[in-house]
A = this chain, B = another copy of it.
Amino acid sequence: MITIGQLAAYAGVTIKAVRHYHKLGLLEEPSRDSSGYRRYTAEHAIHLLKIKTLAEAGVPLGRVKELLAADPDQVAAAMAEIDRSLEMRVRELRRTRQRIARLSGGDRLFVSAEVADYLDDLRELGVSERGVRLERDGWILLQSVSPKNAAVWIAEKRVAIGDPEFRALYLEYDSAYDWSPDDPRLPALAERAQRWLVKRPDRVEGGPPLRDPALVQLVSSSTGSRSPAWDRLAEIGREQRS
């Protein structure tokens, strides 16, 4: 006849856990000795080890109770299922490990692979880090507002980036961020952008009716990172279209 402390040590659980299992009706309350101490037998030890093994596998205590009362056939089936879920958890943990490894790295954690590729293209093109970050933040917002539209638009963008005129425009817009709103180059840039928008390659089939300027506006207005020159460019654009 062993005490609760010895039982707990044998099974590798705490005394508190043993009493918890009693309260849940998982482990039979043993008889008490003359001073009211619980006195356990080997049966209890075996039972407790079963409970512990199942609990360690992540089986909720409620189910552990069922399982221990069920007949062997059911137990075997449940074991197989538990094993499958355990395997899944192992796979998930491994995936998380990879993401953790990349956390301190690039943008691929925050945007879809397509967008990340596009951002890489921009970096290669020579766009400033600030510009790339602005784009990235725009896509994050876009993906959260409308993942479907974002997928269509990124496809369009990846086509556009193949156009030398678009690339040139993008770079100029990028550097225009720091210009004064009175800079004489702004009207010409706005007009050139407008021309490109009108005669640009056909849009992807089934694309939404929303125009790029809306995206630009969303991005620039939302991230809080807008520049006087860009505001002026948008203004000129509106004037030209009206």
A residues at B contact (CB < 8 Å): 1-2, 6-7, 9-10, 41-43, 45-46, 49-50, 53-54, 56-57, 72, 75-76, 79, 82-83, 86-87, 89-90, 92-94, 96-97, 99-101, 103-104, 109-110, 136-138, 140-141, 143-145, 147, 221-224
Knowing A42-B136, A45-B110, A104-B76, say if A10 contacts B223 (CB, 8 Å): no
Min Cβ gap A39→B in Å is 9
Query: Of A42, A72, A86, A92, which is in contact with the most chain B CB atoms at under 10 Å from its CB?
Result: A42
In the bound complex, what is the Cα–Cα distance between A83 and B103 (angstroms)? 12
Contact A101 B86 (CB under 8 A): no
Sample (29) of A-B pairs whose CB atoms are under 8 Å apart: A1-B221, A1-B222, A2-B144, A2-B145, A6-B144, A9-B144, A10-B147, A41-B222, A41-B223, A41-B224, A42-B137, A42-B140, A45-B110, A45-B141, A45-B144, A49-B109, A53-B96, A53-B99, A56-B92, A57-B93, A57-B99, A79-B103, A79-B104, A82-B100, A86-B97, A86-B100, A87-B97, A89-B93, A90-B93
Chain B residues, CB < 8 A from A89? 93
Contact B7 A103 (CB under 8 A): no
Closest residue of chain B to A103 (Cβ to Cβ) is B53
Closest residue of chain B to A5 (Cβ to Cβ) is B144
Q: Is the interface of A mostly helix, strand, loop or mixed?
A: helix
Chain B residues, CB < 8 A from A101? 79, 83
Contact B10 A140 (CB under 8 A): yes
Chain B residues, CB < 8 A from A97? 57, 83, 86-87
In the bound complex, what is the Cα–Cα distance between A50 and B90 (angstroms)? 21
In the bound complex, what is the Cα–Cα distance between A221 and B2 (angstroms)? 12
In the bound complex, what is the Cα–Cα distance between A79 and B99 (angstroms)? 11
